[in-house]
Amino acid sequence: MIADVIQSPAQATYWLIQGRVLFLVITLLGVVCFAYIVAKRMTPLMRGAPDFRFDRPLARLVKVLQFWLGQWRHPRYRTAGTIHLLIFAGFIILVIRAFSLLILAVSDHFVMPGGHLYDILKDYAATIVFFAVGIAAIRRLVFKPARYAKGNTADAIFLLALIGVLMAADSVFEASKAAAHAQTGQAVEFLATLSMPWVLKNALISASLPTLQHLNLGAFFTHEVTFFFLLCYRPFGIQFHVETSLFTIYFSKLDRETLKPVRWGVPDDQLDQVKSFGVKTFEDFTWKHMLDFYSCADCGRCSDQCPANAVGRPLSPRFLTTKARDYSFRHYPMLGRSNNGTALVGGIYSEDEIWSCTTCGACEAECPLLVEYIDKIVDLRRGMVDDGKVPQSLQKPLKSLESRGNPFGKMEKKRAEWAKANGFQQTCPVKILNGKESAETLYFVDSITSYDDRIQAIGRATAKILAQLGENFGILGAAEKDSGHEVRRFGEETLFMALRDHNTEAIRATGVRRIVTADPHAYNALKHDYRFVPEVEHISQTIARGVRAGRIQFNPVEYPDNVYAYHDPCYLGRHNQVYDDPREVLDAIPGLQRVEMQRSRDRSFCCGGGGLALFYEPKEEQRMGVRRVRMAAEAGANVMVTACPFCMVNVEDAIKVAGMEGKMTAIDLAELAGQQIAATPNRED
């Protein structure tokens, strides 16, 4: 065997030390440091609250394939997403290469597995990653997308640069060896055409052998040191997700529509024994929620989509996470013991910040790493409620919910009066299922539709449609209490449970087989928060079924010039994926012109929130509803169709606030359907 003209790093001598020894020391040092850092980072997770995430491994694997390996959500932001996809794919390919180099550092003439095909792949991968981090850095430095503002740009650039150094060093290592071999007529490594090593090899082809030898060893050393430095530096910043993302996604929430219980493993009837509710100090977070903090890449997509952030409320989901992460780093320092914890609210978070969330879910629909926000917000609120820290504006409605079962403090006996108003009772009698009457279907009305003068019209439209469909239906009347949907989401779990138990009993006593509601918040509560109640359907689904079966026919629109835009209510769309039924209903109305707003379906923009959110007085620069109404106008619409009573309140208010009366009107899907419904179904066929 002919001696290689290029000495292998393991054989070479660096500053009088043999390469093998030097690299063994560097590797050991790097691995030990990394292990120590990870162990430190794991400490709070061990002390965190329990979280049940070890079930359904197959479903979790599917999540990993889709969201981790498949980078499913990245293309939602085209440029950044594409760059990330390239870097990620490159990293996946280069994992084998990285391990090969680590072995090569201590073992002579180690032959990389994978053969030529892999050699070509990894050359291109390194090249693509090099250019991708370059573009990413230019984006951050020159184009400065707004969502990166207030982030740690220097750190981001530094991390990108380190990746660039890794790629360049590897390429120089390859290129210098190939150039030397070519010069001396030895077997030349195959380098992929036009890849970075290939270009460098051609550039170095006439360099002297000693220069090539120096370059070769220098590049290897640089790669080795950078690799371990990066490994140990990542856990201190936004690139920790390189290590944690796989776990974050594997352990991500499978039933995203449900809300986290107060404490995992404690059944409702034993909750009274739990000393403290919710999250008050860092250790009250579950270990998975802590892992979320570590995994956040600070990409800002959550806050870019967050309606609260958009209208200047003191909430940005991104900072909710990064503040917690920074706190945990301070609270659990690398050297020494953990400091005494402080209260999170009043410390790193303000009360207004935590109350500002409408739980619309836009942030969670966007996060590429499936970081959870709503559960954390609700847990923080549970902690505040437990400590009595509830804004005065919410105390009255909560008290009324406790004593009267509705947030307005109205009398229970007046809950069914909407069905009597304007002579409605004569045209469409609504049964009250109080033991004497029975029915197949229960119409769950909920508080706002029962008591609000304007919204009662949605109730009557819903009843009219059900009657038209020939449904044998009735309502609970005075026996119905608020579904408690927002009571739960505002952190008052005990009151929610009382409302839920009351309604569950009342519903079961009627013997109905299914439930229909026109309120997405009630729909979501009955579907996901309640147990042991019949199947529930939103009225838009009922109408769509009627349309499909030919049981509902619509008259053509009266004003064909009107342009309609459908606004997806958060709890119908994003939280329950009912996107198509309402659109199908609209499209079944002859002559109805419909446009889509730019932000629709799972990117719908919350109108301001429902339930208790109507009572909360946020600090904000603008109303969410005003923004939303303007979006509809930009789409060319002059009628906004909603399918939620709270959307109606917010949108109609916003039309007035925005001074758009006469230019924009709002109508509920049930109202529109009720108005357009043809008196008798078409029986021609």
> Site residues (CB under 8 A) for another protein?
272, 277, 385-390, 392, 394-396, 398-400, 402-404, 409, 411, 413, 492-495, 498
Q: Which of the 8 DSSP states describes residue 677?
A: B
First-to-final CA distance of the chain = 90
Least separation, in Å, of the C-beta of 272 and another protein? 6
Contacts of 375 (CB under 8 A, 6+ apart): 253, 259, 260, 289
| Helix, strand, coil tally for the chain in percent (to 5) | 55, 5, 35
**In the complex, least distance from residue 656 CB atom to another protein, rounded to whole angstroms:** 13
DSSP-derived 3-state class of residue 666: strand
DSSP class of residue 349 equals: B
Nearer to another protein, 169 or 495 (CB): 495
Write phi, then psi, for 345 (nearest 5 degrees): -80, 125
Q: By C-beta, is 358 or 406 nearer to another protein?
A: 406
Q: Name the residue nearer to another protein (CB basis): 494 or 622.
A: 494
Please answer whether residues 572 and 582 qualify as being in contact, where contact means their C-beta atoms are separated by less than 8 angstroms.
Answer: yes
Instruction: Tell the smallest beta-carbon distance from residue 271 to another protein (Å).
Output: 8
- Which of 243/402 has CB closer to another protein? 402
Measure the CA–CA gap between 315 and 78, rounded to whole angstroms.
26
Six-digit token string for 176: 């210098």
To another protein, the closest distance from the beta carbon of 631 in angstroms equals 26
Q: SS3 of 558, please? A: coil
Q: How far is the CB of 592 from another protein (least distance, A)?
A: 33
Least separation in angstroms between CB 223 and another protein: 58
Kindly state the smallest distance separating residue 601's Cβ from another protein, in Å.
37
Closer to another protein by Cβ: residue 109 or 399: 399
CB-CB contact of 371 with 302 (8 Å): yes
Which residues contact residue 596 at a Cβ distance below 8 angstroms, ignoring those fewer than 6 apart? 565, 566, 635
Which of 57, 388 has the CB closer to another protein? 388
* Residue pair 30/231 in contact by the 8 Å Cβ criterion: yes
Q: How far is the CB of 40 from another protein (least distance, A)?
A: 36
Nearer to another protein, 70 or 409 (CB): 409
Dihedral (Cα; 545, 360, 664, 554), 10-degree rounding? 0
What CA–CA distances, in Å, run from 519 to 82, 418, 480, 516, 640? 39, 15, 14, 9, 17
Closest contact distance (angstroms) between CB of 393 and another protein is: 10
Angle 256-261-266 (CA atoms, 0-180°, nearest 5)? 140
Write down the least CB distance from residue 494 to another protein, Å.
Answer: 4
Which CB sits closer to another protein, 385 or 465? 385
Would you say 153 or 400 has its CB closer to another protein?
400
The residue whose two tokens read 């790669």 is 223
- Rounded CA gap, 99 and 78, in Å? 32
Q: What six digits make up the tokens of 162?
A: 């380190």
Residue with Cβ nearer another protein (68 or 490): 490
CA distances from 525 to 258, 323, 438 (A): 9, 31, 23
